[in-house]
Amino acid sequence: MTVLVLALLFMSLTTAGSVPSDQIFQYIEEHQNEYVQRLKDWIAIESDSNDPEKRHLVTNMMLLAEERIRTLGGTVEMVDLGMQELPNGNKISLPPVILANIVKDPKKPTVCFYGHLDVQPAEIEDGWSTEPYILTEKNGNLYGRGASDDKGQVLAVLNAIEALQKHELPVNVKILLEGMEEVESTGLKELVEERNSTFFSDVDHIVVTDTAWISSKPGITYGTRGNCYFLVEVECAKQDLHSGSFGGLLHEAMNDLIFLLSTLADSSGHILIPGIYEAVAPLTEKEKKLYEGTEYDLDVIKAKYGIKQFINKTKEELLMQRSRYPSLSIHGIQGAFSAPGTKTVIPAKVIGKFSIRLVPNMELSVVKKQVTDYLNKRFTERNSPNSFKVTYRKGSKSWLADPNEPQYLAARKAIKRVFGKEADMIRSGGTIPIATDFQELTGKSIMLLGIGGPDDAPHGQDEKISRYIYIEGTKLYAAFLQELSTV
């Protein structure tokens, strides 16, 4: 009888998985100083992938992470990606990629975490308040290059696995860590393609832990916009001219270009290129609800950046503008006189630069044609004798997942459990190529579950992660793995 009561009591205390999460959470709390020390050790390595002189440090960083993962058991492969050719023709080794495998039970689902261990450059002279490679705690924040992007996030995952292992790891875990993310993930796509039928074959879910929340509420990113970049070139002479001698005599390239650029969108940002909105998916009630639940404080953002007024009034409209509709931005004019002063030059050749953020269903090839046809037509109408050319420079597709896929449900439950709040469901306005790449190369369910805070300043001075988010984020990954075993 007593045994039965105890057994029932035990079962009722048990949440997802077979281990009470209280014990796991308590273990994480108790070990937080150890986790901070690990982050300190990782931050101390200047794994700047941009600087060829520091490439050996990126490799050292990968080796340190390998050591950490080996203590979790399983197998670790350090994959050699070969050489990288530098712009000056020299060749240097790429840092190894870590492919780790902690498989306990082939019948259980397998989740693969992706993160990176390289960082952006940082020097105290850039305006840091503390040494960027010495993790420094101030007012509850842990300052250091890579603290948020992405060493802290990767360590939170590894710490969560370790904490679960004290009891039981409820699902199989694989880990992919690279050291070239800040340089467009050189070599990674090829590796994923090559390992699709091996390393990735039994992966059910891919979780990218390299993203930030957009508010103080934890967020899950389920979509990103793509982008396509164009150059418009107009040339009116072989060399720059003086407006005293030539003003009024010829069709000036700059005037043509400004005319063309001004025909791209109207004063409320509506893109005037015919057909550009055709592919945009209709808004459903279900999707609308997700924007309503997302936190996005317009007044704070306006004040922070000194923006007088947004085009749209409500939070929902702005979130939609930012994530589910295309937008067009003009970035610059090459060849224009841009220095201070009042030079009376007529630039001979100017190149306007603009890009369009793409949303799901918009095809790069179609947009390319729409843009080129439109500008050609407008230029013809202008009747200018100048030479004119539109070129497409680069682009990437958007990505969108179904936020009701099992791993999303598990992550939402885990966020609720750890933070006591509903997750912000985010469609990022920017481009995260790794999401699109994983999607296209593996066909697996992808989710972006990062723990970067909204003001962590990744890539900037005084990058940080708060101790609170680092530790609660560790709990979040632990809870996520538990929930994943039950969905």
Ligand X SMILES: *[C@@H]1O[C@H](CO)[C@@H](O)[C@H](O)[C@H]1NC(C)=O
Which residues are known catalytic residues?
Answer: 118, 181
Q: Any residues with CB less than 8 A from the CB of 293 and at least 6 apart, and which?
A: 422, 424, 425
Of Zn ion, ligand X, none, which one does residue 372 interact with (CB within 5 to 8 Å by kind)? none
Of Zn ion, ligand X, none, which one does residue 12 interact with (CB within 5 to 8 Å by kind)? none
The tokens describing 380, both together, are 């013809």
Binding flag, residue 311, ligand X (CB under 6 A): yes
Distance CA 99, CA 14 (A): 32
Of Zn ion, ligand X, none, which one does residue 13 interact with (CB within 5 to 8 Å by kind)? none
Minimal distance, residue 240 CB to ligand X, in Å: 39
Minimal distance, residue 429 CB to ligand X, in Å: 13
Nearer CB in complex with Zn ion: 149/462: 149
Minimal distance, residue 327 CB to ligand X, in Å: 11
Binding flag, residue 196, ligand X (CB under 6 A): yes
Binding flag, residue 317, ligand X (CB under 6 A): yes
Residues 22-51 touching ligand X, rule: CB under 6 A, are none
Binding flag, residue 321, ligand X (CB under 6 A): yes
Task: Answer whether 216's CB lies under 8 Å from 415's CB.
Answer: no
Name the helix (H) or strand (E) containing 116: strand 110-116
Count of residues engaged in binding ligand X, rule: CB under 6 A:
13
Q: Which of 56, 270, 289, 394 binds ligand X (CB under 6 A)?
A: 270
From the list 10-18, 88-96, 158-166, 194-202, the region that binds ligand X by CB under 6 A is 194-202
Task: Answer whether 109's CB lies under 8 Å from 444's CB.
Answer: no
Task: Answer whether 159's CB lies under 8 Å from 28's CB.
Answer: yes
Sheet holding 464-466, edge to edge: 136-138, 141-143, 464-466
Task: Answer whether 276's CB lies under 8 Å from 367's CB.
Answer: yes
β-strands 445-448, 226-235: how paired? Answer: unpaired
Minimal distance, residue 481 CB to ligand X, in Å: 22
Helix then strand then coil, in percent of the chain rounded to 5, is 35, 20, 40
Distance CA 423, CA 195 (A): 33
Minimal distance, residue 487 CB to ligand X, in Å: 20
Task: Answer whether 454's CB lies under 8 Å from 216's CB.
Answer: yes
From the list 44-52, 109-117, 312-320, 348-356, the region that binds ligand X by CB under 6 A is 312-320
Contacts with ligand X by CB under 6 A lie at 196-197, 201, 268, 270, 311-312, 317, 320-321, 441-443
